[in-house]
Amino acid sequence: MIRIIPAIDIMEGKCVRLQQGDFHRQTVYAADPVEVARQLQDAGVQYLHLVDLDGARNGRVQNWAVLEAILARTSLKVDFSGGLKNDEDLQRAFDLGVHQVSLGSVAVIFPLKVYKWLRDFGPQKIILSADVRHNRIVISGWQEETQISLIPFLESYQSIGLRTVTVTDVSRDGMLGGPAFDLYRQLSRQFPGLRLVASGGVRTIQDIEALDALGLDGVIIGKALYEGRIQLKELERFLC
């Protein structure tokens, strides 16, 4: 059964959501991300996707205190991303109790470094975050489009032991227009050995059911949850 992974995106210490990765199109949903995380846990959620948007934009983790507080006050299995750039960052995150780290820009710019982390920390600790726009990888908090195509990017990492990847169609993120079903269907067929996590565009429980039917490992939910389009009670059967 597909894993339900709510997202908390942090900007200036608050829980926000962006539209299509645009930092100028943000909605603040809560002043206290820690309280949001506690509410999710109380509802039976086990996993959390925590993004340091300030870190993603600035190239250095900015919200260590929020991460530490969520890990101290909940038992959620947190995957963390945004500004992780060196061995010390990863070690600090794992020492705090992070379950996994999600690596995006650094995996594009410094692949040899990420290859080393896969070897040193183990593939069970590393999630590749493949953010795409028009089938091209985007980096730096989705602000810069590269010339790297998604398929060869995934092939290169699978060949050195990667097990889990989150794929986000940036054009759909925060828009409630539905997930990129055709893309996930293609990737499921082409990469049967990868644990594929869908992100972006989820709007209803029917979207989650359809992604589950595709055999995906997980789905990240943000705006639809915060705006009440999906109720936590609807997710109960996926949380056991």
Q: CATH number for the 3-239 domain, one of 2.40.30.10, 3.40.309.10, 3.20.20.70, 3.20.20.450? A: 3.20.20.70
In the chain, domain spans: 3-239
From the CA atom positions of the chain, what is the Rg in Å?
A: 16
Taking only the tens of pLDDT, the chain with its 240 residues reads 999 999 999 998 888 766 655 555 667 677 799 999 999 999 999 999 999 999 988 889 999 999 999 999 999 999 999 999 999 999 999 999 999 999 999 999 999 999 999 999 999 999 999 999 989 999 877 778 899 999 999 999 999 999 999 999 888 766 677 999 999 999 999 999 999 999 999 999 999 999 999 999 999 999 899 899 999 999 999 997
* Long-range residue pairs from 104-107, CB within 8 A, at least 24 positions apart, any chain: 104/56, 104/128, 104/129, 104/130, 104/131, 104/139, 105/56, 105/59, 105/139, 105/140, 105/141, 107/157
The model's pTM is: 0.93
Sole residue written with tokens 């997930």: 179
The residues assigned a catalytic role are 9, 131
